[in-house]
Homo-oligomer: A and B are copies of this chain.
Amino acid sequence: MSTDINRSWQLSGFGLSRLKPAEGKVPEPGPHDLLVRNRAVSLNYKDKLIVDGTLIPDLAFPYVPTSDAVGEVVAVGSAVSRFKVGQRVLGQVIADWPDGDAPPVLHKHTLGSSLPGMLSDYVLFGEDAAVSAPPSLSDVEAATLPIAALTAWFALAEATKPIAGQTVLIQGTGGVSLFALQFAAAFGLRAIVTSSSDEKLGRAKQLGAWQVINYRTQPAWDEAALDLTDGLGVNHVLEMVGGDNARRSINALGADGRLSIIGLLGSMELSFPILPFMRNRIVVQGLSIGHRRAFERMNQAIEALALKPVIDKVYGFDQVPRAFEHLEKGPFGKIVIAGS
């Protein structure tokens, strides 16, 4: 990434073939803005859904995708008081959500959506929409936090209360799922991980999974989860798929169980039977990343726990399309773009 011009990857229309390098001017920070020299960007599955036109059908082009970046503050607006030049910062993706309940109309100010995306040399963050990067993490590692880690953290530590010894079932081994696994293990939760690959399940065990279920060899993974919990059911399921998969999730839950809806890999619909749902007084909650205060608390925890994000592969800034192709294949952990 060079200094005077601002290189970007821009979509001129839907489809990965329309994601192309572009050049523009370095943006001017307003009074409350930070100008940030990007050091690393991570990809999320929703970036693929935006690029291929599934998630935001009325996107305005040209559009710079992605939301997660770490960089160095190189200039600050006249009124900025929270950060200084030289600090390493991460962007708060839902920019107008400092704490508590979300703003009434969400996604009004969201990085990589209503606000510009991160695949540029230089980006702007509002000073109230940035947090310090955890000092113990490298740039590549820190870039993975804004969506994947914060979503997992919010589901396990903010939206509910983690009670050590309880069980949490985590679907898959993508970026959010592996953060969830690492947090769960660090909180003393018993994590059950599902995957179609025994190799990935083996690696999940090394990361602290209590039990694993291969849903290819055990399609009735809900029954397997009930067996693992002596028939009582698990306390919490992180749903990454939706559709009929959620029926099994409900079935795997025990009394006062919780289903956190995080992903939509498989369907835009959710359906399940009412009776077990009512009998066990299940709570199903939709999540959308998290607020800035949670981001700050998470970063403090990452330091305290000495937790290291799982990186599947790092691509150069000139390899963005290949990084997106990798994303589609289902990485183990995160895909990051870093370096020039």
A278 located at the interface, meaning its Cβ lies under 8 Å from any Cβ of chain B in the complex: yes
Interface members, chain A 217-259 (any B CB < 8 Å): 232, 242, 254-256
Q: Which residues of B contact A300 (CB under 8 A)?
A: 165-166
A166 and B287 within 8 A (CB): no
Chain B residue, CB-CB nearest to A261: B278
CA of A281 to CA of B155, assembled, Å = 11
Among A3-11, A268-276, A313-321, the one that faces the other chain is: A268-276
CA of A105 to CA of B272, assembled, Å = 20
CA of A293 to CA of B99, assembled, Å = 10
Binary flags per residue of A148-173, CB closer than 8 Å to B gives 1, else 0: 00000000010001111110000000
User: Of B99, B232, B272, B303, which contacts A101 at CB under 8 A?
Assistant: B99
Interface members, chain A 280-298 (any B CB < 8 Å): 280-288, 291, 293, 297-298
User: Of B32, B183, B186, B271, which contacts A271 at CB under 8 A?
Assistant: B271
Q: Which residues of B contact A210 (CB under 8 A)?
A: 304
Q: Which residues of B contact A102 (CB under 8 A)?
A: 255-256, 280-281
Copy number in this complex? 4
CA of A272 to CA of B272, assembled, Å = 10
B267 and A274 within 8 A (CB): yes
User: Of B30, B269, B275, which contacts A273 at CB under 8 A?
Assistant: B269
A305 and B242 within 8 A (CB): no
A264 located at the interface, meaning its Cβ lies under 8 Å from any Cβ of chain B in the complex: yes
User: Of B99, B284, B287, which contacts A98 at CB under 8 A?
Assistant: B99
What is the CB-to-nearest-CB distance from A234 to chain B, in angstroms, rounded to a whole number? 13
A36 located at the interface, meaning its Cβ lies under 8 Å from any Cβ of chain B in the complex: no
A215 located at the interface, meaning its Cβ lies under 8 Å from any Cβ of chain B in the complex: no
User: Of B31, B166, B264, B273, which contacts A274 at CB under 8 A?
Assistant: B264
| A interface list, Cβ under 8 A from B | 30-32, 79, 98-107, 157, 161-166, 183, 186-190, 210, 232, 242, 254-256, 261, 264, 267-275, 277-288, 291, 293, 297-305
What are the 5 closest A-B residue pairs judged by CB atoms, nearest first? A99-B100, A165-B301, A271-B271, A100-B100, A165-B300
A–B pairs, 16, beta carbons within 8 Å: A98-B99, A104-B254, A104-B255, A107-B279, A163-B297, A164-B183, A164-B305, A165-B298, A165-B303, A187-B188, A270-B273, A271-B272, A278-B288, A279-B286, A279-B288, A281-B286
